[in-house]
């Protein structure tokens, strides 16, 4: 089910695990990797492809939710504002949102927009975990350095670090760990 109105989302009778991050961070690719279905979520090299709240029913017991990215996208300011409005509404109002996975591109230093979003989630007491994506594009030393930079930045505002997972949609790395985490949360 896809829509831009939280009121039209599926009945809140099953756990939901939503995925969000900057535009082009690999949300849809990760969802396809997790579900072992390359055509489930639409992917594109053009930022801003996902423009609706997309619910995917998994095993008839829980929903995996693909949310539009935040930040840069090749859409109008009016469209960006609309996305932001219904993303915020979804995050705040969905009582069956068990965890919001914030995807972070592992190739970059901590980004201001990601840090602001993570801190906002903390203020709103939204349960979340971080998933570092595109880890296949870095060597272990650089990956560890970038993740440690995020930890240092987070500890400036947080007493305790959130759960952090790593993934690569290209190699399948992290699939079992993410699915195990979801299973533990249900």
Residues 21, 183: Cα–Cα separation, whole Å: 22
pTM score of the predicted model: 0.89
Nearest to 97 by CA among 73, 77, 69, 127: 127
Task: Quick: pLDDT tens for 149-165.
Answer: 999 999 999 999 999 99
Contact partners, residue 75, CB within 8 Å, separation at least 6: 48, 51, 83
Please tell me the predicted confidence (pLDDT) of residue 48.
46
**Taking the domains of the chain in order of start, what are their residue ranges?**
2-185
Q: What is the CATH number of domain 2-185?
A: 3.40.50.300
Mean pLDDT of 135-160: 95
Write out the DSSP string of 3-57: ES-GGGSPPS-S-EEEEEEBTTSSHHHHHHHHHT-TTSS---SSTT---SEEEEE
DSSP character at residue 70: B
Task: Quick: pLDDT tens for 19-29.
Answer: 999 878 988 88
DSSP character at residue 172: -
């Amino acid at each position: 089910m896809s829509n831009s109105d939280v009121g039209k989302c599926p009945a809140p009778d099953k756990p939901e695990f939503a995925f969000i991050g900057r535009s082009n961070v690999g949300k849809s690719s990760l969802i396809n990797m997790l579900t072992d279905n390359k055509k489930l979520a639409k992917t594109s090299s053009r930022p801003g492809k996902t423009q609706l709240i997309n619910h995917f029913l998994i095993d008839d017991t829980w929903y995996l939710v693909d949310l539009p990215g935040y930040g840069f996208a090749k859409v109008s300011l009016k469209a960006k504002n609309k996305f932001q409005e219904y993303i915020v509404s979804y995050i705040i109002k969905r009582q069956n949102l068990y965890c919001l996975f914030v995807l972070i591109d592992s190739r970059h230093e901590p980004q201001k927009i990601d840090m602001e979003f993570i801190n906002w989630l903390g203020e709103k007491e939204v349960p979340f975990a971080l998933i570092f994506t595109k880890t296949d594009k870095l060597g272990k030393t650089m990956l560890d350095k970038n993740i440690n930079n995020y930890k240092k930045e987070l500890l400036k505002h947080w007493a305790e670090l959130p759960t952090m997972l790593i993934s690569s949609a290209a190699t399948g790395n992290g699939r079992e760990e993410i699915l195990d985490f979801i299973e533990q949360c249900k």
